[in-house]
Amino acid sequence: MEPLDLLVPENSALQPVDPALAKVKRVAHAAPLLVITIAAVVAAVMWSPWMWLGVLACGLYFAYIYWLIGRRVRAHRYLEGDNDFIVASGRWWRSVTIVPYGRIQFIDIDEGPLLRLFGLATLKLNTASASSDAAVHGLPREEALALRARLSQRAHDRMAGL
């Protein structure tokens, strides 16, 4: 596979994350926006009808974020290669991170309350370099555990040759 092929968000060789990640991110973004919207409604009712523009702005912002999150989640993908692990993300600013198995030091699995509610987890690869860490958000919990086991074994096997 050519490196430039990895920059195509819908590359079929790359595994997509669980679409439920979009729900998690939408809920996380909606909560503070709801508080701001309520404050704007109260201000519009109590002080000035012009404050309804703030409510409209909140609604437009929510619609934009709702749309954007869906696109971002669909573009977040990963691939277990023969010698390295690849994480690709982004639509407008595309990013591809390639981590050789022999450079992986440890692998974390994180589950916040929202991720846990939806049965998802985040897998984080940690290397000696602070800038080369990669994360795959929105994996089903069982898949994240299985992937961590496979990656740990590959990292152990490849590290022996270093």
pLDDT, one tens digit per residue, over 114-149 is 999 999 999 999 988 777 669 999 999 999 999 999
Cα(121)–Cα(137) distance, rounded to whole angstroms?
7
Burial degree of 130 (CB within 10 A; 0-12, 13-18, 19+): exposed
List Cβ neighbours of 33 (8 Å cut-off, separation of 6 or more).
58, 61, 62, 65
Cα(93)–Cα(87) distance, rounded to whole angstroms?
14
- Counting Cα atoms < 13 Å in the Cβ hemisphere of 79 gives 22
Query: Do 122 and 87 form a contact (C-beta atoms < 8 A)?
Result: no
Structure confidence at residue 136 (pLDDT):
96
**pLDDT exceeds 80 at position 155:** yes
What average pLDDT does this structure show over 46-74? 91
* pLDDT-based confidence at residue 3 (cuts at 50, 70, 90): low
Query: Do 13 and 79 form a contact (C-beta atoms < 8 A)?
Result: yes
**pTM for this predicted structure:** 0.82
Residue 147's closest CA among 75, 85, 58, 103?
85
H or E segment and range at residue 3 = none
Structure confidence at residue 44 (pLDDT):
86
pLDDT tens track for 74-114? 999 999 988 999 999 988 888 889 999 988 999 999 999 99
DSSP per-residue letters across 23-57: HHHHHHHHHHHHHHHHHHHHHHHHT-GGGHHHHHH
- Counting Cα atoms < 13 Å in the Cβ hemisphere of 155 gives 16
% of the chain exceeding 90 in pLDDT: 56
Structure confidence at residue 4 (pLDDT):
54
